[in-house]
């Protein structure tokens, strides 16, 4: 149903900002820090990614922290290969946190 003003003219719906490009680039280049999760509003998942990266870096001298970077890299590629509409629906509207 279309909303109209007092003159009968349709009022455009406000557009939601699509964060696909920003989240994808952050996931690929700075993914281990969880910045892409924070950009999408997933604070808990962003903190989880950051803490796991730090803990794995400390415990294994950085060897296993690559796991978090790899997961984030894969997420970034997935983000960038989706269409704007798909990305918005899946990650911003339906709030799918991982992959």
Residue 34: is its pLDDT beyond 90? yes
According to the model, what pLDDT value does residue 93 have? 84
Beta bridge partner(s), residue 10: 4
The model's pTM is 0.77
DSSP per position, 44-98: HHHHHHHHHHHHHHHHHTTSTTHHHHHHHHHHHHHHHHS-HHHHIIIIIIS----
What CA–CA distances, in Å, run from 92 to 1, 27, 39, 41, 65? 23, 15, 10, 8, 27
The pLDDT tens digits for 10-26 are 766 655 678 899 999 99
The pLDDT tens digits for 37-90 are 999 999 999 999 999 999 999 999 988 889 999 999 999 999 999 998 898 888
CB atoms within 10 A of CB 8: 6
How is the chain split into domains, by residue range?
20-93
According to the model, what pLDDT value does residue 94 have? 84
According to the model, what pLDDT value does residue 76 have? 95
Confidence of residue 1 (pLDDT cuts 50, 70, 90): low
């Amino acid at each position: 149903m279309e909303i109209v003003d007092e003159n009968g003219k349709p009022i455009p719906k406000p557009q939601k900002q699509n964060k696909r490009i920003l989240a994808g680039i952050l996931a690929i280049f700075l993914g281990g820090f969880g910045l892409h999760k924070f950009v999408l509003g997933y604070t808990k998942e962003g903190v989880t990614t950051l803490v796991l990266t730090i803990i794995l870096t400390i415990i294994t001298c950085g060897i296993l922290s690559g796991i978090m970077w790899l997961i984030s890299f894969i997420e970034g590629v997935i983000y960038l290969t989706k269409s704007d509409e798909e990305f918005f629906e899946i990650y911003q509207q339906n709030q799918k946190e991982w992959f």
